[in-house]
Amino acid sequence: MLEPSLLQQALEFRRARDWEQFHSPLNLAVSISVEAGELLEQFQWQLSPDASIDASRRNAIEQEIADVALLLSYLAHDLGIDIDRAVERKLVVNAERYPIDRSKGSAKKYTDLSG
């Protein structure tokens, strides 16, 4: 997710503040959910899905995306999970669950796609 040098910067930032003590997997997972909720809040009460986003709101969205990315990177690092590899594996699983001929143009969950 984060390139190695940026991940090292983030880890050093955390280390310098002695925040690892607060970053248990549970606390990081909870924080990811909280930050994702704050990202979602930026779209709350939006009148249409394609409404324009002004510069101020775009900045707020960027900040929330960065919070989610940082926390997810900490969690993956601490658990020894290679995010890129995990995504590659998930794409293989999703390709099996969502074959193009049954899923193209459909928002159905794989368990609801007819075979």
pLDDT over 70 at 24, yes or no: yes
Residues spanned by the domain of 67: 4-105
| Domain assignment of residue 114, yes or no | no
Number of domains the chain is built from: 1
100-109 per-residue burial string, b: 16 or more CB within 10 A, e: under 16 = eeebeeeeee
The predicted pLDDT at position 115 comes to 65
What is the tens place of the pLDDT at every residue in 25-76? 999 999 999 999 999 999 888 778 777 888 989 999 999 999 999 999 999 9
**pTM higher than 0.85 for the full model?**
yes
Can you say how many angstroms the Cα of residue 25 is from the centroid of all Cα atoms in its chain?
Answer: 15
The predicted pLDDT at position 50 comes to 78
Q: Copy the structure tokens of residue 93.
A: 């699983």
| Domain assignment of residue 86, yes or no | yes
> In the chain, what percentage of residues exceed pLDDT 90?
84
pLDDT over 80 at 101, yes or no: yes
- CA-nearest of 59, 66, 58, 68 to 37 is 68
| Domain assignment of residue 115, yes or no | no
3 state SS of 89: helix
| Domain assignment of residue 31, yes or no | yes
3 state SS of 58: helix
